[in-house]
Structure 1
């Protein structure tokens, strides 16, 4: 079965829009085979490895099948680890970005249970949790599952390996009998088959074979780069590696267009290639790239299928791919016909986990490298110019210019009353400086990336909320409100300033729109809040509680 395009899966406009923003055009194998069956209400056994897109395979239909007007838990996802619970919750929040009233909550051990109890009182419809913490809430009667419609066991074999079999039995025996049960597992040992027999009704068994993915002949590197520094780092890599032909992959069509414009404005010969272009336009761009009429082709995965060029020097993953098979397809476009090739992948924040999955399944070494420095770019530019000058000298036919050099030396020395005499070396150095200024590309400073800083690109947006001290608001209320309503982790929230009637809070720029959109109708301490970008540039003195 050929993989489906998401537009063919009969999804709502809101989910289609969110998926497009996430960079998904084509569904993976497990998604293509699972989503239609799940949306028909059937029980499904999905046999697939991590990294094949299984979170969206169950997450997309779960969100589409929700009754958003029903403020009770309708979907329960069980995961083996807190990391997977958090990661899955973030992905599902992205899928449901344009679906009003959909609330998703991860619950796991290691987080204060009181905070989770507060979040559960806000009536989420999807719970993603580890078995131990889910059981804990069930014992406390803080997790009410009487309206549950769907249970998903994610990485079921891993949960059994970690000793959660009894917990799973306790949970599944206490949920409503009439429900849809979805199970995903990389392997199908006897214990998993026992679970399916006990808790599923006529399940559809979907198996996706994980291909052996190896790419031994290509030098592979990754760079930890903040979102705001990607363009500059890409420019520097192209300049310092003397790359002639390169492919740059982005996850969305909008991203492709923006990057093409930005690179063109810096003087690079770059063109875009994506699915919104007519076939005639795409063919024209691909033919021009094959003939070397431009240097940098920026493309989405689907649009790049028709590119068959042997002498691509490097591939750049400007956005990390959503599936390791895409990674292999991307970087396999360099190093062809016995030539050497390089692949560079930009990684931001939690994407490091995706990179680890790629390394694991491709059985390849992807080496960490630091972004080239200003000095590296300057050195490379000068070396390139020196080579050009050497070639000009070897080619000859520069005799007529010697007279001009002599004239400059004589004129300057006649005007110079000091003992420092100008030589032809001085003139050559000055001309080289002018040449460098005229032929050089724009070089911008890159802010050092601090992994522990609240925002990876260091830019924060200040928001105004019309609720404050008189409403008994505390910083934890603000953090809980934002963290439970958006995909922004609480630890990334910046300064919180509380006053009598209002509050200021700083959030990373890349999350600002989501926070503003998701908290439009949010209630805090019983009051419907208004949240907007702060118009005040001056920071007033923050409220400090009286001791």
Structure 2
């Protein structure tokens, strides 16, 4: 087993590592650090989030910084503000005992003047999000013509968020002789394209199979009707009293709805979505990181850059359309050598999609029975007993009250006293789950069907004016033709986000979405047909006018 003190790192970095309590490098660090200390070749590293990538590239870069130079020598790009701040914080810790290494962090949504002042004072390493980084380059406030390292961290996430054009522009303005380091959890075609276009014979380092899930994660799924999904979610939470996890939803409105229901039902939960201001988002994140919240309900977009190491569960309230999204979600648990569980709530018609995800993750998913009320009460009872055993008694504070309490309870026998204290919590769950129905779907029953609003069951009938119209799950959908497609950076999640942006206070049901190279189709509840046409008629995306019209029958 290799140790950090055997990796030719400087005394200053060794001192910083020891102060942080690090002894043994993670697999990605063990492979990457020696390579970057010895080679100037480009590198593509495949590793899941949370495997120690920042130290993998940060330690060798810090060691090789020329402190006599005042211009930026390393540029590190990350998909989100949170991740950029985290990387900058880690690099600051790593360089604690190294002299004259300054680190600047730049991101959107913050005062650009302060960031410019920070750059003008001199920064050896700049960490930033693609949009703000490119903005500063165009303003000639961030000069990247002399950088020696360009790091693309979570490159696949940056691409899925629509930063391809920004990355292309930044890469095109950087010097050819730099060392480019690309870190990604998956290897989609776009990553291969960047490697082929901007990198020279890159060394590939991998600590797992391409596009597969993390090794320490178990994958469970529950088969329920769509209408019972929230009930199943609550039972999974109740079966795991110490749950600390993220619940992923498809849309912003669904995120709000699930979080509101959980809070109304007394759960320690909150939501993270695009309607929150940065201050509100920071507040929710601070509560979640400090474990004052047990469950965080979020969309994929809102949760980007969120890095928490101790998650016990990731719950997929919906199975994502893209298997690679599932890989990213499930990779948020089972970190730092700990075990994690990824739970997915599905209905019968999603079984085929689940098999596709299984193939991508390269792991079998375990079908679990939704727990009964009796199972939950038993689990909660023994959890309560464990808490009572481990509770720390504050003798000084409680002592004045004890004489009255002893007198009040003196008539109770020991066994009776224990029963009564335990029953305070136990009776609550016993009453709630009394006569609780079995919500598991029995696949063996003939004709077992499940309909979920917003998902395709069969081809639509021809509606008014010859347009495509479909009815499903109580909803009638209108189908729209959209003039932007994959070449414009559009994907399914982008379309969902655009709809949510134009209907911030409405819970609009979204149907099937198809994204082509040059155009797209999407379905929306027919009641919002006129509003969709009106709100999108003058809207723009990345400065480009968005053309939209009702789609004709296919």
- What TM-score does the superposition give when structure 1 sets the normalisation length? 0.43
